[in-house]
Amino acid sequence: DVEQTILKYLRKKGYKNAEQAFMEDLKSNELTPTTNNESPKETTDNSNNYIIANTSNTEKDDNLYEEGYSKLRSWIEGSIDMYRFELRSLLYPIFIYSYLNLVSTGKTQRAKQFMEKYSIDHREQHIQDIQRLSSLSDPMHVKENILAQTFLRNKYLVKLSSASYSLFLAYLQNSSYAILLQITNQYLSILVSPKALQQSDIDGGVGIIGHQDSQIEAFNKQEIHLGKRPYDLFEIEEIERRIKDEKNENNEQLLEIFKGMQEKLNEDPLPKEQVPLPVRKLIDISADIKNLKDISKRAKLDNTKLPSICCYTFHNTHHGLNCLSINNDETMICGGFSDSFIRIWSITGKNLRGITKPRNINGNVDSSQCKKLIAHSGPIYSTSFSPDNKYLVSVSEDKTIRLWSLDTFSNVVCYKGHNYPVWDVDFSPEGFYFATASHDRTARLWSCDHIYPLRIFVGHFSDVDSVKFHPNSNYIVTGGSDCTARLWDIQKGTCIRIFKGHLGPIYALAITPDGKTLATSGEDKIINIWDIGSGRKIKSLYGHENTINSLSFSQEGNILASGSSDNTVRIWDVKQD
């Protein structure tokens, strides 16, 4: 029976719209009596022509693959967080098989456009596959390419929880793109788990057996320069001249320390196209000399020489104090509160005074040891002092970033750009720039002389919870709720390292002063130590019993302090095996 054969073919291919139209056409033919001038042969021909037209619309339309993938991508990105990271594992195989089908059917120009438009979604974790497959330009190339045949001859294993699988099936049934159902039936093998999956469950054992699915190591081989900006000749001569003019007993020691610092700076110098910074002033040279003196007096910390502890207690702050930060010279401490205000305290016991003399309600000069800054309209989640102690930057639930002058203790700039609450902020070690992390899945780079973001860093699949500048100010590190940390080149605006190994959101980041080692921690109670150059994990530190909220390295980079919701602060020797 021709009609039954056609219906079986349409059901097998998943062409529901064509199947329904064909059945309606059959019913109308049965209800309408044929005239003497019509013959059964003509009716069959008309039906066949109708089926051919429908088949061409669903199978031969060049746009079907791109539209189907684009709609699926948008649907997954719009799904709720607990299912999004599972559903996202479907995108890569559907992308690859759509591309290979386009090339195999001779639509090479459409395949090239499809690859160029959407390969950015997968380049970080599948860079080698994409590089090898993007050169295919002829159906014969597909037959001769080993990697292409590996994909076409094997089913791609995907792991989903039962809830995510049900959502995906419902989407396929309601979608008008039968091509997605065809790819799923023909090329995907979905392993359904009755319980919710973790990121580690999805990362392990997926893809094609015998073929390496995750290719982060290849992605992490991009060129990187971890050294700091070297001193120019004028700065070197001026620093040496000032040290000699002071005629102190430890002048030789200071000169020796300065020489050692120059040698380290020249080990991995920054390229010429580094991030532009304001011209250094004489006051910066004075700060460098002060730093040299501090280094000469500093005791090296190790197992036998643990750090001393200075404790400040903030009373009556339950669910009110969200964040704390201390300025570089340890003279001020700043707290952000849920009541949308900021408080700055003097640590030294001296009164806080700016260049202006604000007066209280009685007309007397207000010079207390605490200042209250009011401008935000939501809880304050993070604050950061500028290196020169002239500015403070804060972020809030109200989606804004505010820059405060510490000379006048007033708000001078309000930055707007994020679409959702902003979780974290960090000032560049060189000043001038600062970076923010937000619920809108982006991190952004700002400067003190522009009210709009200079760079928008997009790549995390969920909230960007934390952000930290690299000591050379050329890179930032972000930690996200997608269980990954990423290193970004702020000059190019691209991701150049992915650090993958956590089982939960990453809330805390720390980088050693030499810029070579990264520490990450968060909800999974684990501290991971990474080599930034290679992107590989060095070790994991276990001990905390609750979420880890803060990390900080010592100046030598061998001691790490961590603070946790388990009510403990722990000191770790990261150099010890």
Paired tokens of 298: 């500093």
CB–CB of 518/477 below 8 Å? yes
For the chain, what is the mean pLDDT? Answer: 83
Distance CA 297, CA 314 (A): 30
Q: How confident is the model at residue 465 (pLDDT cuts 50, 70, 90)?
A: very high
pLDDT at 1: 54
**Percent of the chain whose pLDDT exceeds 70:** 84
Distance CA 431, CA 329 (A): 15
Least confident of 163-177, 193-207, 476-490: 193-207
Is the pLDDT score of 105 beyond 80? yes
DSSP 8-class letter at 502: -
pLDDT at 257: 82
> Could you tell me which residue, 189 or 44, shows the higher pLDDT?
189
Least confident of 289-293, 320-324, 524-528: 289-293
**Percent of the chain whose pLDDT exceeds 90:** 36
pLDDT at 122: 86
Q: pLDDT tens, 82-91? A: 788 888 889 9
pLDDT at 486: 95
DSSP 8-class letter at 207: B
The helix or strand, by DSSP H or E, that contains position 190, with its residue range, turns out to be strand 188-193
**Average of pLDDT values for 495-507?**
90
Q: How confident is the model at residue 47 (pLDDT cuts 50, 70, 90)?
A: very low
Is the pLDDT score of 28 beyond 60? no
**Residue the block writes with tokens 């200042």:** 371
DSSP 8-class letter at 33: P
H-type helices in 1-62, by residue range? 2-13, 16-31, 40-59
| Three-class SS state of 81 | helix
Least confident of 240-249, 435-444, 467-476, 536-545: 240-249
pLDDT at 496: 92
Is the pLDDT score of 212 beyond 80? no
Domain boundaries defined on the chain: 2-59, 63-219, 233-297
Cα angle value 370/570/477 (rounded, 5°): 75
Which residues contact residue 1 at a Cβ distance below 8 angstroms, ignoring those fewer than 6 apart? none
> Could you tell me which residue, 96 or 262, shows the higher pLDDT?
96
User: How far apart, in Å, are the Cα atoms of 275 and each of 214, 222, 225, 487, 516?
Assistant: 32, 18, 13, 15, 19
Q: pLDDT tens, 547-556? A: 999 999 988 8
Backbone angles phi, psi at 481, to 5 degrees: -75, -5
CB–CB of 103/115 below 8 Å? no
Distance CA 51, CA 473 (A): 63
Backbone angles phi, psi at 258, to 5 degrees: -65, -40
- Look up residue 550 and give its amino acid: S
Is the pLDDT score of 213 beyond 60? no
pLDDT at 279: 78
- Residues recorded for the chain: 577
User: How far apart, in Å, are the Cα atoms of 235 and each of 232, 238, 269, 280?
Assistant: 5, 5, 17, 9
pLDDT at 35: 36
Least confident of 39-43, 143-147, 203-207, 345-349: 39-43
pLDDT at 299: 75
**Average of pLDDT values for 158-171?**
89
Is the pLDDT score of 158 beyond 70? yes
pLDDT at 52: 30
Among 8-12, 14-18, 64-68, 260-264, which range has the highest average pLDDT?
64-68
CB–CB of 556/300 below 8 Å? yes
Q: pLDDT tens, 340-397? A: 999 999 888 888 876 665 555 555 545 688 899 999 999 999 999 999 889 999 999 9
Q: pLDDT tens, 418-453? A: 999 999 999 999 889 999 999 999 999 999 989 999
Least confident of 59-73, 137-151, 199-213, 237-251: 199-213
> Could you tell me which residue, 167 or 307, shows the higher pLDDT?
167
Topology, domain 63-219: 1.25.40
| Three-class SS state of 197 | coil
**Average of pLDDT values for 116-133?**
87
> Could you tell me which residue, 38 or 138, shows the higher pLDDT?
138
**Average of pLDDT values for 299-320?**
79
**Average of pLDDT values for 391-414?**
94
**Average of pLDDT values for 63-79?**
88
Q: pLDDT tens, 226-236? A: 888 877 788 88
